[in-house]
Chain A
Amino acid sequence: MLGAVVLPAIAGAIAAAIAWDAAWTAAIGALVLLDAAVTVALAASGRATRPGWAIPYIVVQFDLFAAFLAVIAYVAAGRSPGVAAGLAALLLAAAAVGHARRREVFRSATAPDSWVARAAVAVPPLGFAGGVTGYAIGRGLGAFPLSVAVIMAAIAFVMVLIAHAATHRLA
């Protein structure tokens, strides 16, 4: 369970390298260090094995992972404020839907007959298709950043949506 801490650490390191900016590096580094400290505290206190602590902890790991993927998408898309706002809205929407509809999303992981499963399933292929199309019609690095931005945003969305549905087990 505590192995999930590698997700934000790895994505954070990549995002900081891609952003190549002192402010972003400091912000990402602070979040990763805080996360590592929480992980150590959970492990030392023995709370890591209790679902009441473990599940929110895992949700936070996926949230941070997705946030750092969104940073990569933001940089790849040209660091525009509009893109940043769009990505933030996308992740907030994923978290809100994943939490508010946690029963349905969770059931999608055990009985895939709900609309949520189909909606979640549609996102990565659409993102992937968009990315590959962008890459194919462009040349070299021109379309590559756009493809990266689309795919990263799609993966971040799915990660947050699925992770927040896990809170259903706390009910």
Chain B
Amino acid sequence: MSGLSSAIPADLLAYSARGMDHAAGLGVVGKGLTATLDALNGSRPEPSILPRVPALGDDLLRLATAKVDTDQWVGRVGLAFQATNAGTTGLIATGNDTLAAELGKGSGILDDLRSWSRVAKNQWWFPTVVATLQPGGGLPSFLAWLKGYRLVEKDGYVIAKGWRYVFDDSSIFQRYIQTARLPGTRYRLDGTEVRPFMDFETGFWRNFSDGINPADARFWKGGAWVGWALTYGADVFDYSSWGDHASEGFASKGFVNSLAVDTGIGAATIGVSALASAGAAAATGAAFGSVVPGVGTLAGLAVGLGVGFFMASPVGQHVRTELVDGLGSAEDWAGHAISTGYDDAKHWAGSELHNAESFFTSMVPHIGFHL
């Protein structure tokens, strides 16, 4: 395989990124078409009037899948060209053997990283798992509950019942479980120690703060930073020399908009997870008259996992791309509106100034007359 091949790597990478976005869009249309045609065929129309429609949606989905493979391959070729001529921009000519060797080596790892960068962002169930396993988290609370530790509401107080003497055994397991236990045995219902477990609103704000507020110690302890690090890390990878958007780079508007959109998605996901968690905890507290540990955590986990699954799906990725593009268009529109508005205002002010000047000039003889 001798000879030379030439290409502009940035163009190949841009083609690859846009192509994969389009493939995600095709996938969405394919799914919708499949559902609609299924409904149509399911209504059993008279064949002589409306013959059975073939599964066009499935064809579209297959096309989208094949398109993704092709687009990924184009991206890999772009990266191979880039790797053989580091630091060179524009048209690059490379020997076919060198190119083939570059495509063969290490591309698997990069492909893996690219796949992970697509699915790792907006996965807000990772922090919930960390928060569950950590000392004082859902799992030790659940284990303490199994051993008979209870928080029971009575006459405006929450009483800690059962298994009070957890410090007797010094095994690691016991120490782990005892991290879930409150130090005292009786707390006011509106006290800061137990209110988040019994009151919906307080529980929500505490859970929400745990997820978004770096100044809150629980943000670091509970593992929310893991979710943010994965999301922002995946964005940084996407716009690095190895990612899907390598041609755009960190100085691009796309990178800033990706960070902004993922920040919004992250905050919204943490918000709905916190709502579900607080709602489940408060509801079981009301129904049982006692805190049932783990139910709120499980509800939050289910919601975080559901949102993560949606965001990793072709539809979710398409929605995210639309949000990033929409934000870019909104910025362009706002920039244009501000610029046009400034010019109009300047023109209007200039013309008003001119009118005022003319008015005063015309008034001067009259003023002189009065004087």
Complex Cα distance, B145 from A117, in Å, reads 10
Contacting residues, chain A, for B260 (C-beta < 8 A): none
Say if the beta carbon of B150 comes within 8 Å of chain A.
Answer: yes
Contacting residues, chain A, for B118 (C-beta < 8 A): 140
A110-B150, A151-B305 are contacts. A141–B119 as well, Cβ < 8 Å? yes
Say if the beta carbon of A91 comes within 8 Å of chain B.
Answer: no
Say if the beta carbon of B250 comes within 8 Å of chain A.
Answer: no
B 24-40 to A, binary, CB cutoff 8 A, 1 in contact else 0: 00001001100110010
Interface pick from B164-172, B233-241, B286-294, B351-359 = B286-294
Say if the beta carbon of A137 comes within 8 Å of chain B.
Answer: no
Residues 84 to 124 of chain B near chain A (Cβ within 8 Å): 112, 115-116, 118-119
Complex Cα distance, B303 from A15, in Å, reads 10
In this complex, the interface size class of chain B, counting residues with CB under 8 Å from chain A, is: 35 or more
A111-B148, A152-B302 are contacts. A144–B315 as well, Cβ < 8 Å? no
Contacting residues, chain A, for B145 (C-beta < 8 A): 112
Chain A nearest Cβ from B346, distance in angstroms: 46
Chain B nearest Cβ from A12, distance in angstroms: 11
Q: Are B283 and A62 in contact (CB under 8 A)?
A: yes
Q: Are A148 and B305 in contact (CB under 8 A)?
A: yes
Q: Are B283 and A58 in contact (CB under 8 A)?
A: yes
A1-B282, A23-B39, A148-B309 are contacts. A139–B112 as well, Cβ < 8 Å? yes
Contacting residues, chain A, for B305 (C-beta < 8 A): 148, 151-152
Say if the beta carbon of A163 comes within 8 Å of chain B.
Answer: yes
Say if the beta carbon of B83 comes within 8 Å of chain A.
Answer: no
Complex Cα distance, B302 from A158, in Å, reads 12
Contacting residues, chain B, for A72 (C-beta < 8 A): 306, 309
In this complex, the interface size class of chain A, counting residues with CB under 8 Å from chain B, is: 35 or more
Contacting residues, chain B, for A74 (C-beta < 8 A): none
Q: Are A6 and B275 in contact (CB under 8 A)?
A: yes
Contacting residues, chain B, for A22 (C-beta < 8 A): 35-36, 39
Q: Are A144 and B39 in contact (CB under 8 A)?
A: no
B 218-229 to A, binary, CB cutoff 8 A, 1 in contact else 0: 000000000000
Q: Are B39 and A20 in contact (CB under 8 A)?
A: no
A18-B313, A139-B115 are contacts. A54–B286 as well, Cβ < 8 Å? yes
Contacting residues, chain B, for A62 (C-beta < 8 A): 280, 283
Residues 134 to 154 of chain A near chain B (Cβ within 8 Å): 139-141, 144-145, 148, 151-152
A10-B303, A20-B28, A155-B302 are contacts. A1–B295 as well, Cβ < 8 Å? no
Q: Are B146 and A117 in contact (CB under 8 A)?
A: yes
Which residue of chain B has the shortest Cβ distance to A158 in the bound complex?
Answer: B298
Residues 105 to 136 of chain A near chain B (Cβ within 8 Å): 106, 109-112, 117, 121, 124
Complex Cα distance, B116 from A61, in Å, reads 36
Q: Are B287 and A141 in contact (CB under 8 A)?
A: no
Complex Cα distance, B28 from A18, in Å, reads 11
Q: Are B279 and A169 in contact (CB under 8 A)?
A: no
Contacting residues, chain A, for B73 (C-beta < 8 A): none
Complex Cα distance, B287 from A59, in Å, reads 8
Complex Cα distance, B28 from A117, in Å, reads 43
Say if the beta carbon of A76 comes within 8 Å of chain B.
Answer: yes
Which residue of chain A has the shortest Cβ distance to B293 in the bound complex?
Answer: A109
Say if the beta carbon of B299 comes within 8 Å of chain A.
Answer: yes
Q: Are A159 and B299 in contact (CB under 8 A)?
A: yes
Q: Are A163 and B287 in contact (CB under 8 A)?
A: yes
Chain B nearest Cβ from A134, distance in angstroms: 13
Contacting residues, chain B, for A169 (C-beta < 8 A): 287-289
Contacting residues, chain A, for B201 (C-beta < 8 A): 3
Q: Are A7 and B288 in contact (CB under 8 A)?
A: no
A 71-83 to B, binary, CB cutoff 8 A, 1 in contact else 0: 0100010000000
Chain A nearest Cβ from B197, distance in angstroms: 13
| Given A58-B283, A169-B289; 6 other pairs, CB 8 A cutoff | A3-B283, A7-B299, A11-B302, A18-B309, A110-B150, A166-B287
> Which 6 interchain pairs have the tightest Cβ spacing?
A3-B200, A4-B283, A166-B287, A14-B306, A140-B115, A6-B279
14 contacts between A and B (CB under 8 A): A1-B286, A10-B275, A18-B306, A20-B31, A72-B306, A110-B150, A110-B290, A121-B146, A140-B115, A140-B119, A144-B119, A156-B302, A158-B295, A166-B287
Contact residues of A with B, CB < 8 Å? 1, 3-7, 10-11, 14-15, 17-18, 20-23, 54-55, 58-59, 61-62, 65, 69, 72, 76, 106, 109-112, 117, 121, 124, 139-141, 144-145, 148, 151-152, 155-156, 158-159, 162-163, 166, 169
